[in-house]
Chains A and B, each alone.
Chain A
């Protein structure tokens, strides 16, 4: 049972390049989330998907887009990467976010933008 799987684990981009971060969960969870973590800070929510077919903005959505491809997969896209988007990105899932269920995290994607 893999839990939440993120790919890639590391990536270096040049300013202006685009990229999609992939996330898949095998726990039959309904809700999925994308967070970013900057040095010395807690996690901030970028986008979330309460259920298949829905997405909504979090605290820091600017510069990102998301796609809930199916129940298992939730991708995060940077259309034109900027140095301010250098961060560690975490995907998480929970059975049903609306009723308050534990969130389980992937191992993160470390993204550097030069």
Chain B
């Protein structure tokens, strides 16, 4: 079946460091989204990015659909960036359903 794989599974950073999270998917996507789940369990949509590059403050994301991967960049990390980052792919002929990766758990230390 269709698979979405994220790496690394967990990451520890010092405040101020930069990081790159990766998402690989096994088939062509028409929908790729990145989410942040904060320590209280809330899921926040960071990016809807089926292709190309987008930036939102210290965060940016790039999806290279032809090579079946997406990257999430976090610059100058802050303790409030801690939590779990999920990517989720929507695939052609799947009716808008998203398949989630297992997540990258990020801990930013002061």
Does B96 lie within 8 Å of A97, measured CB to CB? yes
Q: Find chain A residues with CB under 8 A from B42 CB.
A: 105, 107-108
Count the A-B residue pairs with Cβ separation under 8 angstroms: how many? Answer: 66
Does B95 lie within 8 Å of A97, measured CB to CB? yes
Q: Find chain B residues with CB under 8 A from A31 CB.
A: 96
Residue B33 lies at the interface, judged by CB distance under 8 Å to chain A:
yes
Does B101 lie within 8 Å of A42, measured CB to CB? yes
Does B41 lie within 8 Å of A98, measured CB to CB? no
**B 81-97 binary contact with A (CB < 8 Å = 1; else 0):** 00000101010000111
**A 49-69 binary contact with B (CB < 8 Å = 1; else 0):** 010000010110000000000
| Secondary structure dominating the interface of B | strand
A104 in complex: contacting residue of B45, B50, B88, B99, CB < 8 Å: B45
Q: Find chain A residues with CB under 8 A from B100 CB.
A: 42-44
CA distance A39 to B102 in the complex (A): 11
Q: Find chain A residues with CB under 8 A from B41 CB.
A: 88, 107-108
Q: Find chain A residues with CB under 8 A from B86 CB.
A: 42-43
**Which residues of B are interface residues toward A (Cβ below 8 A)?**
4, 30-31, 33, 35, 41-45, 48, 50, 86, 88, 90, 95-103
